[in-house]
A and B are shown apart, each in its own frame.
Chain A
Amino acid sequence: MRLWCTSSQGVAWDWTWQPYIGVWVFIILIAVAYWLHLRRLEPSALKDCAQRRSRIVFFALGLFSLWLALDWPIAPLGMGYLASVHMVQYMLIALVAPPLFLLGFPASSYEKLNDRPRTVATLRNTAQPLVAFFIFNVIITVTHWPSLVDPFMSSQVGAFALDMAWLVAGLVFWWPLIAPVPAWPRFLPMFKLAYLGLNGIIIRPPFFILLFSRFPAYATYELAPPIPGTSALSDQQLAAGIMKLGTALVMVVAMVIVFGEWVRSSKKAPAGSAY
């Protein structure tokens, strides 16, 4: 029994269910921490029942995305057999779960951050849009670099580190867009659109490696027991497509939401105010 999912270790793929206890414990710990956090908040912060429900739904969806990516069958397929599924994992962990987590916290949670000057100082450094953009893209580039990914995915600690790096990178990336710390300046919708748009079109080096290399880039997938109907190289090219188009799709969806909110707030705002 494994705690965390790793590469195939030479075992041929079959659809036999495998438990990953470490993943369950991790997911349960996040859920319990969230529940305790909500309980500790002042009741006034959660007065609006509908709002509270929507926050919890967002958080639950984020948790579900994370669990989906880390547990059977996506995790073993992605960690050991198919680069394309690995890319789906990345999408779920770095691009889907983090915004849902951040949306799951009420405004008062972010207000409470002001009681912790050190945390605020750290966040102020990392959650600057340009810095966040930079950190996210460096982490995503490094954590997809073949010669680094192969050794990491072969151990449980390494695989855990990769997953956590994606999660942290995702939280850093989405923080400037979603986290509404009142004491902090607003990130104008126009800049939000540019931030998302740029991330949608940016081409990271791993994309080139995956799409244009003559031979499979990751030893993990090339030397894994093959899954009938797939080849390591075509799977890798599919992975590049998922990385590029999937990221672009998430960014476009986020841009539509931001734009919609911008239009709504413009209608509400009296003439001559901020935006």
Chain B
Amino acid sequence: MDTEFRSTPRRLRRILPATLTACACLLFHISCSTGNDGASGTGYRGWTMPRPQEKVDFTLTDTEGEPFDFRARTEGYVTLIFFGYTYCPDVCPIHMANIGAVLDDFRIEVRSQIKVVFVTTDPERDTPERLRLWLDNFDTSFIGLRGDRDEVNEIQVALGLPASVIEETEGSGYLVGHSARVLAFTKDNLAHVAYPFGTRQTDWAHDLPKLVDERWE
């Protein structure tokens, strides 16, 4: 026993350089892979659009049944707009959950300057009640909008997004294929940055306060 314990430091010394090298490689890898700050050259972690997208004028119905004039009601705010549906199994709840979690973490001064608008691409199944209930899971301030499928498709195309399509599934159900991109309009009524699926909470937390303060000169 004694012999074994005495020889331990020597063995440790033998494996220590290899372990330290491995740890150094790991730390290097981590430091290189923590976030993608400035990956687009603008300091944003979202995808900076080569040509900013203008806001589109449209009026849809909110979950209270009231008309919602998008341009007028989002004027002067950073507005995230996303097209999806409540039966969506993956992209929609992930985007909404991540944005909701991050907004919770912001100071009220920042939080109060951001609006999140969710437009359903499945108006048949997404009743106002269902839409409201679903959005409230993430944040009660999220705005839910409904309109005819064709009308919503027109808005998507006008915003540079693909129109949504119905995909039949086994049985009587269906999925709705739609863009996974969140457009972020800043106070100049232009969307300079878009957020694809895969945007993480750290990315939102990094970008949203910057978008609130952005002047785009």
Partner-B contacts on A (CB < 8 A)? 10-12, 125, 128-131, 134-135, 138, 142, 145, 147-148, 184-188, 214-216, 219, 222-226, 231-233
Contacts and interface: CB of A to CB of B under 8 A. Distances in A.
B200 A216 contact: yes
B200 A215 contact: yes
Contacts, number: 81
B4 interface: yes
B30 interface: yes
B30 A145 contact: yes
Q: Main secondary structure on chain B at its contact with chain A?
A: helix
B67 interface: no
Contacts of A222: 94, 98, 200-201
B4 A128 contact: yes
A130 to B, nearest CB: 5
Contacts of B15: 125, 131, 134-135
B41 interface: no
B166 interface: no
28 contacts: A128-B4, A128-B7, A129-B8, A130-B9, A131-B11, A134-B15, A134-B19, A138-B22, A142-B22, A145-B26, A145-B30, A147-B29, A147-B30, A148-B30, A185-B3, A214-B205, A215-B101, A215-B200, A215-B201, A215-B202, A223-B197, A223-B198, A225-B90, A225-B94, A226-B93, A226-B94, A226-B97, A231-B97
B86 to A, nearest CB: 12
A128 B97 contact: no
Interface residues of B, number: 34
A185 B4 contact: yes
B34 interface: yes
Given A134-B12, A223-B200, A214 B93 contact: no
